[in-house]
């Protein structure tokens, strides 16, 4: 009997939930902000360009990587040319 009274009191307490007037507005705002965050791209080019423009060390690293890749490409071309001559 006592557990039934506790359960009924709990049900009555749950029924008396006060919902603020701005509840629907808050839910709509959160839904809109969630949709905007969901549609954001994972990679933002604008931020990368700004970072490279502001950071001279990043520019130097990028130039170094470009130089290494360019030299590797030239070496690959020369190597393939030498192999093709040797094979004749």
pTM metric for this prediction: 0.47
Domain residue spans of the chain:
45-88
Which band of pLDDT confidence, cut at 50, 70 and 90, is reported for residue 1? Answer: low
At 34 the pLDDT is: 86
* Residue 13, CA distances (Å) to 1, 6, 17, 66 in order: 18, 10, 7, 68
pLDDT tens track for 14-30: 777 778 888 889 999 99
Whole-angstrom distance, CA of residue 34 vs CA of residue 26:
12
Average pLDDT rounded to a whole number, residues 38-49: 80
């Amino acid at each position: 009997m006592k557990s039934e009274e506790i359960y009924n009191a709990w049900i009555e307490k749950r029924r008396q939930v006060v919902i603020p007037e701005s509840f629907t507005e808050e839910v709509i705002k959160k839904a809109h902000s969630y949709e905007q965050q969901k549609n954001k791209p994972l990679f933002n080019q604008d931020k990368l360009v700004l970072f490279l423009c502001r950071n001279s060390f990043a520019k130097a690293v990028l130039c170094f990587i470009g130089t290494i890749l360019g030299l590797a490409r030239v070496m690959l071309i020369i190597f393939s040319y030498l192999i093709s001559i040797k094979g004749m």
